Amino acid sequence: MFKNRFFVYLFLGTAVACHPAHQVTTTPKIATTPPVTIFQPYGPAWAALWQQQAAEYKALCLQAYQLAAWRVDQDLLQSHSKPLAIVTDIDETILDNSPNTVHQALQGKGFNEKDWEEWTAKATADTVPGALTFFKYAAAKGIDIFYISNRSEAERSGTLQNLQRWNFPQATGDHLVLRGTASSKEGRREAVASTHEIILLVGDNLGDFSAAFENQLPDARTHAVQNAAADFGKRFIILPNVMYGDWEPSLYHYKRGLSILQKDAILRSSLRNY
Protein backbone atom coordinates (compact mmCIF):
# COMPACT_ATOMS: atom_id res chain seq x y z
CA MET A 1 0.00 0.00 0.00
CA PHE A 2 2.74 2.40 0.99
CA LYS A 3 4.68 1.52 -2.14
CA ASN A 4 1.68 2.25 -4.37
CA ARG A 5 1.16 5.63 -2.72
CA PHE A 6 4.83 6.46 -3.18
CA PHE A 7 4.60 5.96 -6.93
CA VAL A 8 1.36 8.02 -7.13
CA TYR A 9 2.96 10.95 -5.29
CA LEU A 10 6.10 10.64 -7.37
CA PHE A 11 4.06 10.79 -10.59
CA LEU A 12 2.05 13.85 -9.47
CA GLY A 13 5.17 15.68 -8.36
CA THR A 14 6.93 14.99 -11.63
CA ALA A 15 3.88 16.15 -13.63
CA VAL A 16 3.68 19.45 -11.77
CA ALA A 17 7.41 20.05 -12.05
CA CYS A 18 7.40 19.39 -15.77
CA HIS A 19 4.31 21.51 -16.54
CA PRO A 20 5.38 24.70 -18.38
CA ALA A 21 5.28 27.66 -15.98
CA HIS A 22 3.92 30.11 -18.58
CA GLN A 23 0.69 28.15 -18.81
CA VAL A 24 0.07 28.61 -15.11
CA THR A 25 0.53 32.40 -14.99
CA THR A 26 -0.34 33.81 -18.40
CA THR A 27 -0.05 37.54 -19.07
CA PRO A 28 -2.22 39.00 -21.85
CA LYS A 29 -0.24 40.60 -24.62
CA ILE A 30 -0.72 44.33 -25.24
CA ALA A 31 -1.26 45.28 -28.85
CA THR A 32 1.64 47.26 -30.22
CA THR A 33 0.09 48.06 -33.59
CA PRO A 34 -2.59 50.75 -34.02
CA PRO A 35 -6.15 49.74 -34.90
CA VAL A 36 -7.23 49.73 -38.52
CA THR A 37 -8.73 53.21 -38.02
CA ILE A 38 -8.33 55.67 -35.16
CA PHE A 39 -10.41 58.66 -36.32
CA GLN A 40 -13.16 57.32 -38.56
CA PRO A 41 -15.95 56.46 -38.07
CA TYR A 42 -16.01 56.45 -34.25
CA GLY A 43 -13.75 59.40 -33.44
CA PRO A 44 -16.47 62.07 -33.61
CA ALA A 45 -18.22 60.39 -30.66
CA TRP A 46 -15.26 61.42 -28.49
CA ALA A 47 -15.66 65.02 -29.66
CA ALA A 48 -19.40 64.86 -28.94
CA LEU A 49 -18.68 63.50 -25.47
CA TRP A 50 -16.52 66.55 -24.75
CA GLN A 51 -19.27 68.87 -25.98
CA GLN A 52 -21.87 67.12 -23.84
CA GLN A 53 -19.89 66.57 -20.64
CA ALA A 54 -16.98 69.02 -20.38
CA ALA A 55 -17.65 72.04 -18.20
CA GLU A 56 -14.81 73.70 -20.11
CA TYR A 57 -16.94 73.60 -23.27
CA LYS A 58 -19.75 75.39 -21.48
CA ALA A 59 -17.30 77.94 -20.10
CA LEU A 60 -15.95 78.70 -23.58
CA CYS A 61 -19.46 79.25 -24.93
CA LEU A 62 -20.44 81.51 -22.04
CA GLN A 63 -17.21 83.46 -22.52
CA ALA A 64 -17.96 83.95 -26.22
CA TYR A 65 -21.48 85.20 -25.61
CA GLN A 66 -20.49 87.48 -22.75
CA LEU A 67 -17.92 89.03 -25.06
CA ALA A 68 -20.63 89.36 -27.72
CA ALA A 69 -22.90 91.20 -25.26
CA TRP A 70 -20.08 93.59 -24.39
CA ARG A 71 -19.49 94.25 -28.10
CA VAL A 72 -23.19 95.04 -28.53
CA ASP A 73 -22.99 97.58 -25.71
CA GLN A 74 -19.95 99.19 -27.32
CA ASP A 75 -21.60 99.39 -30.74
CA LEU A 76 -24.73 100.98 -29.29
CA LEU A 77 -22.59 103.88 -28.08
CA GLN A 78 -21.84 104.77 -31.71
CA SER A 79 -24.08 106.50 -34.25
CA HIS A 80 -25.35 104.40 -37.16
CA SER A 81 -27.05 105.24 -40.45
CA LYS A 82 -28.77 101.85 -40.88
CA PRO A 83 -30.69 99.50 -38.60
CA LEU A 84 -28.32 97.21 -36.71
CA ALA A 85 -28.17 93.47 -37.29
CA ILE A 86 -26.43 90.40 -35.96
CA VAL A 87 -25.91 87.50 -38.35
CA THR A 88 -25.63 84.12 -36.70
CA ASP A 89 -25.10 80.55 -37.76
CA ILE A 90 -27.34 77.90 -36.18
CA ASP A 91 -25.64 74.52 -35.78
CA GLU A 92 -23.13 74.36 -32.92
CA THR A 93 -23.56 78.13 -32.60
CA ILE A 94 -27.01 78.33 -31.05
CA LEU A 95 -28.25 74.71 -31.32
CA ASP A 96 -26.35 71.67 -30.05
CA ASN A 97 -26.44 68.72 -32.47
CA SER A 98 -24.07 66.45 -30.57
CA PRO A 99 -26.73 63.69 -30.18
CA ASN A 100 -26.77 63.30 -33.96
CA THR A 101 -22.99 62.98 -34.04
CA VAL A 102 -23.16 60.29 -31.36
CA HIS A 103 -25.94 58.46 -33.21
CA GLN A 104 -24.00 58.33 -36.46
CA ALA A 105 -20.63 57.45 -34.90
CA LEU A 106 -21.97 54.59 -32.79
CA GLN A 107 -23.51 53.10 -35.91
CA GLY A 108 -20.14 53.25 -37.62
CA LYS A 109 -21.34 55.83 -40.14
CA GLY A 110 -20.00 59.18 -41.19
CA PHE A 111 -22.17 62.22 -41.83
CA ASN A 112 -25.02 61.68 -44.29
CA GLU A 113 -27.90 63.93 -45.32
CA LYS A 114 -30.61 61.35 -44.66
CA ASP A 115 -29.75 60.86 -40.98
CA TRP A 116 -29.11 64.58 -40.56
CA GLU A 117 -32.53 65.57 -41.92
CA GLU A 118 -34.21 62.95 -39.74
CA TRP A 119 -32.49 64.57 -36.76
CA THR A 120 -33.36 68.18 -37.64
CA ALA A 121 -36.99 67.19 -38.29
CA LYS A 122 -37.26 66.15 -34.64
CA ALA A 123 -36.64 69.79 -33.63
CA THR A 124 -35.23 68.63 -30.29
CA ALA A 125 -31.71 70.09 -30.37
CA ASP A 126 -30.77 71.80 -27.11
CA THR A 127 -29.36 75.31 -26.97
CA VAL A 128 -25.67 76.15 -26.87
CA PRO A 129 -24.79 77.63 -23.45
CA GLY A 130 -25.25 81.40 -23.39
CA ALA A 131 -26.85 81.66 -26.83
CA LEU A 132 -30.47 82.23 -25.88
CA THR A 133 -29.64 84.78 -23.19
CA PHE A 134 -27.44 86.74 -25.58
CA PHE A 135 -29.84 86.89 -28.51
CA LYS A 136 -32.74 87.89 -26.28
CA TYR A 137 -30.52 90.64 -24.88
CA ALA A 138 -29.54 91.89 -28.33
CA ALA A 139 -33.13 91.81 -29.61
CA ALA A 140 -34.29 93.77 -26.56
CA LYS A 141 -31.79 96.47 -27.57
CA GLY A 142 -33.54 96.82 -30.93
CA ILE A 143 -31.07 94.77 -32.98
CA ASP A 144 -32.36 92.56 -35.79
CA ILE A 145 -31.28 88.91 -35.72
CA PHE A 146 -30.74 86.97 -38.95
CA TYR A 147 -30.23 83.22 -38.79
CA ILE A 148 -28.09 82.27 -41.81
CA SER A 149 -27.63 78.52 -42.03
CA ASN A 150 -26.53 75.91 -44.54
CA ARG A 151 -29.47 73.74 -43.64
CA SER A 152 -31.58 73.01 -46.71
CA GLU A 153 -35.02 74.40 -47.48
CA ALA A 154 -36.41 70.93 -46.75
CA GLU A 155 -35.38 71.54 -43.14
CA ARG A 156 -37.11 74.92 -42.78
CA SER A 157 -40.12 73.69 -40.82
CA GLY A 158 -38.10 71.65 -38.31
CA THR A 159 -35.56 74.44 -37.92
CA LEU A 160 -38.18 77.08 -37.17
CA GLN A 161 -39.91 74.71 -34.78
CA ASN A 162 -36.65 74.10 -32.92
CA LEU A 163 -35.82 77.82 -32.67
CA GLN A 164 -39.34 78.66 -31.56
CA ARG A 165 -39.31 75.85 -29.02
CA TRP A 166 -36.66 77.79 -27.11
CA ASN A 167 -38.17 81.21 -27.88
CA PHE A 168 -35.24 82.53 -29.86
CA PRO A 169 -36.09 86.11 -30.86
CA GLN A 170 -37.31 86.89 -34.38
CA ALA A 171 -37.42 83.18 -35.27
CA THR A 172 -39.64 83.77 -38.29
CA GLY A 173 -39.46 82.79 -41.93
CA ASP A 174 -38.10 86.14 -43.09
CA HIS A 175 -35.24 86.04 -40.56
CA LEU A 176 -34.26 82.43 -41.34
CA VAL A 177 -32.02 82.35 -44.42
CA LEU A 178 -31.21 78.82 -45.55
CA ARG A 179 -28.91 77.37 -48.21
CA GLY A 180 -29.89 77.84 -51.82
CA THR A 181 -27.77 76.63 -54.71
CA ALA A 182 -24.53 77.86 -53.13
CA SER A 183 -23.10 76.75 -49.79
CA SER A 184 -21.18 80.03 -49.42
CA LYS A 185 -22.91 82.43 -47.06
CA GLU A 186 -21.31 85.52 -48.59
CA GLY A 187 -24.25 86.41 -50.85
CA ARG A 188 -26.72 86.01 -48.03
CA ARG A 189 -24.64 88.21 -45.75
CA GLU A 190 -24.44 90.83 -48.49
CA ALA A 191 -28.24 90.79 -48.79
CA VAL A 192 -28.55 91.58 -45.08
CA ALA A 193 -25.84 94.25 -45.37
CA SER A 194 -27.81 96.00 -48.11
CA THR A 195 -30.47 96.99 -45.57
CA HIS A 196 -28.66 96.74 -42.23
CA GLU A 197 -25.33 97.42 -40.60
CA ILE A 198 -24.01 94.06 -39.44
CA ILE A 199 -22.30 94.69 -36.12
CA LEU A 200 -21.56 91.04 -35.26
CA LEU A 201 -21.18 87.71 -37.02
CA VAL A 202 -21.48 84.65 -34.78
CA GLY A 203 -20.50 81.13 -35.80
CA ASP A 204 -18.45 77.99 -35.20
CA ASN A 205 -16.87 77.72 -38.65
CA LEU A 206 -14.67 80.23 -40.46
CA GLY A 207 -17.06 80.31 -43.40
CA ASP A 208 -19.62 81.92 -41.08
CA PHE A 209 -17.57 85.12 -41.14
CA SER A 210 -16.03 85.78 -44.53
CA ALA A 211 -15.52 84.28 -47.98
CA ALA A 212 -11.79 84.84 -47.43
CA PHE A 213 -11.76 81.62 -45.40
CA GLU A 214 -13.60 79.44 -47.92
CA ASN A 215 -12.10 76.55 -49.92
CA GLN A 216 -8.65 77.09 -48.46
CA LEU A 217 -6.11 74.44 -47.51
CA PRO A 218 -5.00 74.25 -43.85
CA ASP A 219 -1.98 76.57 -44.08
CA ALA A 220 -3.96 79.14 -46.06
CA ARG A 221 -6.80 78.99 -43.51
CA THR A 222 -4.32 79.67 -40.73
CA HIS A 223 -2.82 82.57 -42.69
CA ALA A 224 -6.31 84.02 -43.31
CA VAL A 225 -7.07 83.86 -39.59
CA GLN A 226 -3.84 85.69 -38.81
CA ASN A 227 -4.76 88.38 -41.34
CA ALA A 228 -8.18 88.81 -39.72
CA ALA A 229 -6.91 88.60 -36.14
CA ALA A 230 -8.25 92.06 -35.25
CA ASP A 231 -11.81 90.98 -36.11
CA PHE A 232 -11.99 88.03 -33.74
CA GLY A 233 -13.56 89.12 -30.48
CA LYS A 234 -14.56 92.41 -32.07
CA ARG A 235 -16.76 91.72 -35.10
CA PHE A 236 -16.37 87.93 -35.28
CA ILE A 237 -17.50 85.80 -32.33
CA ILE A 238 -16.48 82.16 -32.72
CA LEU A 239 -17.83 79.17 -30.78
CA PRO A 240 -15.97 75.88 -30.17
CA ASN A 241 -16.85 72.85 -32.31
CA VAL A 242 -14.50 69.88 -32.50
CA MET A 243 -17.06 67.48 -34.02
CA TYR A 244 -17.00 68.77 -37.58
CA GLY A 245 -16.30 71.81 -39.76
CA ASP A 246 -14.43 72.96 -42.85
CA TRP A 247 -11.11 72.24 -41.14
CA GLU A 248 -11.63 68.53 -41.84
CA PRO A 249 -12.41 68.60 -45.60
CA SER A 250 -9.54 71.06 -46.00
CA LEU A 251 -7.24 68.26 -44.83
CA TYR A 252 -8.70 66.08 -47.58
CA HIS A 253 -8.05 68.89 -50.09
CA TYR A 254 -11.84 68.94 -50.54
CA LYS A 255 -11.79 65.62 -52.39
CA ARG A 256 -15.20 63.96 -52.46
CA GLY A 257 -15.97 60.27 -52.34
CA LEU A 258 -13.11 59.26 -50.06
CA SER A 259 -13.65 56.04 -48.12
CA ILE A 260 -13.49 55.86 -44.33
CA LEU A 261 -10.08 54.19 -44.59
CA GLN A 262 -8.77 56.91 -46.90
CA LYS A 263 -10.05 59.69 -44.65
CA ASP A 264 -8.60 58.04 -41.57
CA ALA A 265 -5.20 57.66 -43.23
CA ILE A 266 -5.15 61.35 -44.16
CA LEU A 267 -6.14 62.44 -40.66
CA ARG A 268 -3.53 60.15 -39.11
CA SER A 269 -0.82 61.53 -41.39
CA SER A 270 -1.78 65.06 -40.28
CA LEU A 271 -0.89 64.37 -36.65
CA ARG A 272 2.29 65.75 -35.07
CA ASN A 273 4.10 63.18 -32.96
CA TYR A 274 7.47 63.15 -31.25
Torsion-angle region of 6 (φ positive above 0: left; ψ -120 to 50: alpha; else: beta): alpha
**Among 251, 253, 212, which Cα is nearest to 232's?**
212
pLDDT at residue 1 greater than cutoff 90 = no
User: What is the assigned CATH class of domain 42-270?
Assistant: alpha beta
DSSP state of 211: G
The 10s digit of each residue's pLDDT in 123-170 is: 999 999 999 999 999 999 999 999 999 999 999 999 999 999 999 999
User: What does the domain layout of the chain look like in residue ranges?
Assistant: 42-270
The 10s digit of each residue's pLDDT in 50-87 is: 999 999 999 999 999 999 999 999 999 999 999 999 99
